[in-house]
Amino acid sequence: MDEDMLDDQRRLVELIEEEGWDITDLEISAYDSPWADEDTPEATVTITARKPYESEDETDGDEDDDNPFRLK
Protein backbone atom coordinates (compact mmCIF):
# COMPACT_ATOMS: atom_id res chain seq x y z
CA MET A 1 0.00 0.00 0.00
CA ASP A 2 1.26 3.44 -0.89
CA GLU A 3 2.47 5.65 1.97
CA ASP A 4 0.55 8.59 0.46
CA MET A 5 -2.70 6.64 0.88
CA LEU A 6 -1.91 5.94 4.53
CA ASP A 7 -1.01 9.59 5.12
CA ASP A 8 -4.33 10.66 3.60
CA GLN A 9 -6.17 8.15 5.79
CA ARG A 10 -4.46 9.51 8.90
CA ARG A 11 -5.38 13.07 7.91
CA LEU A 12 -9.04 12.12 7.41
CA VAL A 13 -9.10 10.51 10.85
CA GLU A 14 -7.52 13.63 12.39
CA LEU A 15 -10.10 15.90 10.75
CA ILE A 16 -13.02 13.78 11.94
CA GLU A 17 -11.65 13.51 15.49
CA GLU A 18 -11.08 17.28 15.60
CA GLU A 19 -14.83 17.67 15.08
CA GLY A 20 -15.54 15.57 18.19
CA TRP A 21 -16.27 12.24 16.53
CA ASP A 22 -14.95 8.91 17.89
CA ILE A 23 -13.69 6.57 15.16
CA THR A 24 -15.15 3.11 15.77
CA ASP A 25 -14.06 1.34 12.58
CA LEU A 26 -11.76 2.13 9.68
CA GLU A 27 -11.02 0.31 6.46
CA ILE A 28 -8.85 1.32 3.53
CA SER A 29 -8.88 -0.59 0.25
CA ALA A 30 -6.22 0.04 -2.36
CA TYR A 31 -6.63 -1.15 -5.93
CA ASP A 32 -5.77 -0.38 -9.54
CA SER A 33 -8.40 1.80 -11.16
CA PRO A 34 -10.77 -0.22 -13.35
CA TRP A 35 -11.83 3.00 -15.13
CA ALA A 36 -8.42 4.30 -16.15
CA ASP A 37 -6.39 2.90 -19.02
CA GLU A 38 -3.15 3.08 -17.06
CA ASP A 39 -2.34 1.29 -13.80
CA THR A 40 -3.22 4.22 -11.58
CA PRO A 41 -3.76 3.09 -7.99
CA GLU A 42 -6.84 4.31 -6.13
CA ALA A 43 -8.08 3.89 -2.61
CA THR A 44 -11.40 3.78 -0.85
CA VAL A 45 -11.61 4.74 2.81
CA THR A 46 -14.59 3.64 4.87
CA ILE A 47 -14.84 5.33 8.25
CA THR A 48 -17.43 4.57 10.90
CA ALA A 49 -17.64 7.13 13.68
CA ARG A 50 -19.95 8.03 16.52
CA LYS A 51 -20.72 11.29 18.24
CA PRO A 52 -23.14 11.56 21.16
CA TYR A 53 -25.50 14.53 21.18
CA GLU A 54 -27.21 15.89 24.26
CA SER A 55 -30.95 16.05 23.99
CA GLU A 56 -32.63 19.21 25.23
CA ASP A 57 -35.58 17.27 26.66
CA GLU A 58 -33.56 14.71 28.64
CA THR A 59 -34.51 14.19 32.26
CA ASP A 60 -31.99 13.16 34.89
CA GLY A 61 -33.63 9.90 35.91
CA ASP A 62 -35.83 9.18 32.91
CA GLU A 63 -38.82 8.84 35.26
CA ASP A 64 -41.23 9.39 32.38
CA ASP A 65 -39.75 6.54 30.34
CA ASP A 66 -42.41 3.85 29.84
CA ASN A 67 -40.12 1.46 27.97
CA PRO A 68 -40.55 -1.92 29.73
CA PHE A 69 -37.21 -3.16 28.34
CA ARG A 70 -35.08 -0.34 29.77
CA LEU A 71 -33.15 -1.19 32.95
CA LYS A 72 -33.60 1.31 35.73
Which residues contact residue 41 at a Cβ distance below 8 angstroms, ignoring those fewer than 6 apart?
2, 5, 30, 31, 32, 33
How confident is residue 1, by pLDDT bands cut at 50, 70 and 90? low
For residues 1 and 30, the answer to whether their CB atoms sit within 8 Å is yes
User: What percent of the chain has a predicted confidence (pLDDT) above 90?
Assistant: 38
Instruction: State yes or no: pLDDT of 20 exceeds 90.
Output: yes
CA dist., res. 24 & res. 71, Å (int): 25
Has this prediction a pTM greater than 0.75? no
CA dist., res. 39 & res. 28, Å (int): 19
Mean pLDDT of 33-60: 79
